[in-house]
Chain A
Amino acid sequence: MRRRTTPRAVLLATGELLLWWGALALLWLVLISTVDTLERVVGAGVAAAGALLARAGRRAVTWR
């Protein structure tokens, strides 16, 4: 049994996380009232956490 992940799987996972991160960061920027550096930093951080959660949730409801 090989537990090594293929480069393709890593690439797919990274792409999905980046996609979630981009969408969530964009949503954050739309929903806040004033755009400044602090908001951008916080938005990027919570979007990263959200991207991990979103991928975990997506995988939990996909029977594959």
Chain B
Amino acid sequence: MNGWILAATVELGGGGAAALWGVTTGPTARRVVAQNLTTAALCPALLLLAQGYGRPAYVDLALLLALLGPVGTLVFARLLHEDLEGRRPSAWGLTYAVAGVGAAVVIALCAVTGPGRAMVKLLVIGALLIGGNLIASRALSGGFRGVLGG
């Protein structure tokens, strides 16, 4: 057990459990927001675990999650747009909080990794994670006018 694994455990135990609770309970609007935030909660934990166990291959899981998570949310936004009509589900405080956690984790890992290809990969993952999440959150809250179900 080192600091990285401890941080990942806290992230999984706190953020992951809260997201799971949000997805399994409450009205549809809340569930879909929690589903969107699950990616942002789990992806930094995977990055921390990769560093903690010294296995760079785990970083690829985080990359896949950062790429597919927001796409999944956009699919939900499209499929559920009749249920969500007029609700504009959003949790901007939480969204920016998890985006900040993601940024902090990526910056800490970049500082440890040092300049090189691995650092660029981390920055790509961070940009995909934060950018994708903000776009997906905006789509859920009805931010894109003129887009069906957006």
Contact = CB atoms under 8 A, between A and B. Distances in A.
Chain A contact-residue range equals: under 10
Contacts of A5: none
B124 A29 contact: no
B53 to A, nearest CB: 16
Contacts of B63: 31
A30 B56 contact: no
Nearest to A29: B117
Contacts of A29: 117
Interface in B47-68: 56-57, 63
B104 interface: no
B75 interface: no
A53 interface: no
B87 interface: no
Tell me the interface secondary structure of chain A in the complex: helix
A30 B119 CA distance: 9
A6 interface: no
Interface string B93-137: 000000000000000000000000100110010000000000000
Interface in B62-80: 63
Contacts of B124: 27, 30-31
A54 to B, nearest CB: 15
B43 to A, nearest CB: 16
Contacts of A35: 117
Nearest to B125: A31
A27 B124 CA distance: 9
A31 B63 CA distance: 10
Nearest to B56: A33
Interface of B: 56-57, 63, 117, 120-121, 124
Which 5 A/B pairs are nearest by Cβ-Cβ distance? A30-B120, A30-B121, A30-B117, A31-B121, A30-B124
